[in-house]
Structure 1
Amino acid sequence: MDQFNSKNYLIYANFLNKLAKDLTSFYYSKLNRTFKVSNKLEGKGYDPVTTSDKAFEKFIRSKIKNKFPDHQIVGEEFGHQKSKSDFTWVIDPIDGTRSFVIGNPTWSNLISLNYKGNPILGLANFPVLKKYYLNYSEKTAYVVDNGKRKKLSVNNKATFQNVKVSAAFHGSLSLDKQKKIPQILKLMQFPCSDALSYSHLAEGRVDVVIQCSNKIWDIHPIIPIIKAAGGYLSTWDNRDAVNAGNILVSPNKIIHNKFLRLLKPVSK
């Protein structure tokens, strides 16, 4: 399989860097006002979508189409725009819609660029927090916080004895299953806020993030950022995180393998 030409990273990273700023400006100029909420799972559960989700996705799609008209696009709200291109943009216009609905500032815009199905660049933009996370290569990623840029690195001093764990099951793990992982429950001592928790791990603020039921647009944009910061990702049953689903993220292999063992009773 042909490999992505690393010389082209800067083209796409610069595009995402500008897009992050444009998305924040778009939010404050157009979307920081009353919005409508509907439930995708009416009668079967709760999966909210807002008029702002749709507006963000239309905005992102228009920017991509203008710059890279031949590329494919997959978005949570408007599906798959197919082409013959090896490049696909994967969009979650608002990751953390529940947070958005109640005014919690931890929601984000997530975008990845995939080459032949493999996420190579990721953006996690947090408009209300005025910060965004973006990788520029396989080994370099930054957080830009109120205009100040800092290189990302996981906590290299983390050990199992002092690990900071952020976890959420999003209603996907029954109480009976939770009883099978008592040590995980005991270690869940830090709040989990959707993609912000993954981003905090890349920044070295937390050491392990455990989440359930991620879709590709929840995790693909995070994968290249975490890897560039030195972290490890997989599903709970140790498959490639590209598959989405139940996700484990850790700062090193030792901790990652330890948590895979702890999660094994609920990993099937």
Structure 2
Amino acid sequence: MSKLNSSDFKRYSKFVDGLARKLTKFYYSKLNRTFKVSNKLRGKGFDPVTTSDKAFEKFIKKEIGKRFPDHQVIGEEFGKKKTKSDFTWVIDPIDGTRSYVIGNPTWSNLISLNYKGNPVIGLANYPVLKKHYFNASDKVAYVVDQRKKRKIKVNKKILFKNIKMSAAFHGMLSLNKQKKIPKILKLMQFPCADALSYSHLAEGKVDVVIQCGNKIWDIHPLIPIIKAAGGVVSTWKNADAVKGGNIVASVNNNIHNKILKMLRPITK
């Protein structure tokens, strides 16, 4: 696994911390108004994109370009900028576009910095909630809530019988498959709100998050935050979450392995 040295961590975490504040300011000054919605799937389903998604991505790319012009960039809406750099920024300008469309405040700006393909710095910014999460090393993560910054940790000591689980299948798991995992269904007792659920796990508010069909920009920014807060994250088949797909995040290895075992009937 490729890692940054301490000075690089400091440099890049300071940048994403500042970027979060700029993004929230940008939202309230430019985007907190009427927007247009279109459907990427055009009659084959519903995958909304708004004019705000595109405006956010352009803004984020501009900010990255000013500081790190040689870095590669992958954005959900505008694709990839290729260079020879080992550093790649992965951008989801609005994670939770459906929430954004209906006025639910849980949507976020997700950004990761990858070094040699490995997510090392993550940012999850929630403009309406006025809070953001990021990691400052591979062992330290923070939430900045109403401008107050504090370290966060997962709830490692929770007993399995007491876990709080946030889970959603996003219409990607058939009813027949759901019937094969009754223990998981029974544990699905807490709301799942896109990236906010992963952020809540890192903050110690929930103990397991299960989601379907995460793209790389959905999960890369959360991986370093979850791990720095002491959590575990993988696919349902226990592969590296960097590949995206069906994802499970947990507060410790013991709970993670139990959840993976419960999911096994639909991962064979």
Q: Which shifted more, 122-131 or 6-15?
A: 6-15
Residue 265 (structure 1) shift: 1.1
Partner of residue 52, structure 1 = 52
What does 1:93-132 correspond to in 2, within 5 Å?
93-132=93-132
2:22 aligned with 1:22: yes
Helix, strand or coil: the match of 2:170?
coil
Partner of residue 145, structure 2 = 145
Partner of residue 171, structure 1 = 171
Residue 2 (structure 1) shift: 6.4
Structure 1 stretches of 5 or more lacking a match? none
Asked if 1 retains the 8 angstrom alpha-carbon contact of 2:89 and 2:114, the reply is: yes
Q: Aligned pair in 2 of structure 1 residues 258, 2: CA closer, same or farther (>3 Å)?
A: closer
Deviations 1:105-152 (A, max 9, x none): 000000000000000000000000000001000000100000111111
Residue 4 (structure 1) shift: 2.9
Task: State how far apart, in whole Å, the 1-side matches of 2:125 and 2:170 are.
Answer: 22
Partner of residue 155, structure 2 = 155
Helix, strand or coil: the match of 2:46?
coil
Task: State how far apart, in whole Å, the 1-side matches of 2:104 and 2:81 are.
Answer: 31
Task: State how far apart, in whole Å, the 1-side matches of 2:234 and 2:28 are.
Answer: 35
Task: State how far apart, in whole Å, the 1-side matches of 2:165 and 2:184 are.
Answer: 9
2:75 aligned with 1:75: yes
Partner AA of 1:154 in structure 2: V
Partner AA of 2:40 in structure 1: K
Partner AA of 1:116 in structure 2: K
Structure 2 stretches of 5 or more lacking a match? none
What does 1:246-261 correspond to in 2, within 5 Å?
246-261=246-261
| Divergent runs of 4+, >2 A | 1-7
Task: State how far apart, in whole Å, the 2-side matches of 1:141 and 1:2 are.
Answer: 19
Partner of residue 4, structure 1 = 4
Task: State how far apart, in whole Å, the 2-side matches of 1:170 and 1:260 are.
Answer: 19
Task: State how far apart, in whole Å, the 1-side matches of 2:215 and 2:250 are.
Answer: 19
TM-score using structure 2 length: 0.99
Helix, strand or coil: the match of 1:143?
strand
Residue 7 (structure 1) shift: 2.2
Asked if 1 retains the 8 angstrom alpha-carbon contact of 2:2 and 2:115, the reply is: no
Residue 234 (structure 1) shift: 0.4
Residue 256 (structure 1) shift: 0.2
Task: State how far apart, in whole Å, the 1-side matches of 2:150 and 2:101 are.
Answer: 30
Partner AA of 1:65 in structure 2: G
Partner of residue 41, structure 2 = 41
Asked if 1 retains the 8 angstrom alpha-carbon contact of 2:2 and 2:118, the reply is: no
What does 1:182-193 correspond to in 2, within 5 Å?
182-193=182-193
How many residues are treated as equivalent by the alignment?
Answer: 268
Residue 3 (structure 1) shift: 4.6
Deviations 1:158-194 (A, max 9, x none): 1210010000000100001000000000000000000
Q: Which shifted more, 148-157 or 252-261?
A: 148-157
Helix, strand or coil: the match of 1:205?
coil
Asked if 1 retains the 8 angstrom alpha-carbon contact of 2:232 and 2:256, the reply is: yes
Asked if 1 retains the 8 angstrom alpha-carbon contact of 2:135 and 2:225, the reply is: yes
Residue 5 (structure 1) shift: 2.6
Partner of residue 264, structure 1 = 264
Task: State how far apart, in whole Å, the 2-side matches of 1:225 and 1:164 are.
Answer: 19
Task: State how far apart, in whole Å, the 2-side matches of 1:144 and 1:2 are.
Answer: 27
Partner of residue 227, structure 2 = 227
Helix, strand or coil: the match of 1:13?
helix
Task: State how far apart, in whole Å, the 2-side matches of 1:124 and 1:2 are.
Answer: 22
Task: State how far apart, in whole Å, the 2-side matches of 1:134 and 1:89 are.
Answer: 14
Residue 218 (structure 1) shift: 0.3
Partner AA of 1:171 in structure 2: G
Task: State how far apart, in whole Å, the 2-side matches of 1:55 and 1:190 are.
Answer: 32
TM-score using structure 1 length: 0.99
Helix, strand or coil: the match of 1:196?
helix
Helix, strand or coil: the match of 2:104?
coil
Helix, strand or coil: the match of 1:106?
coil
RMSD (Å) for aligned C-alpha atoms: 0.9
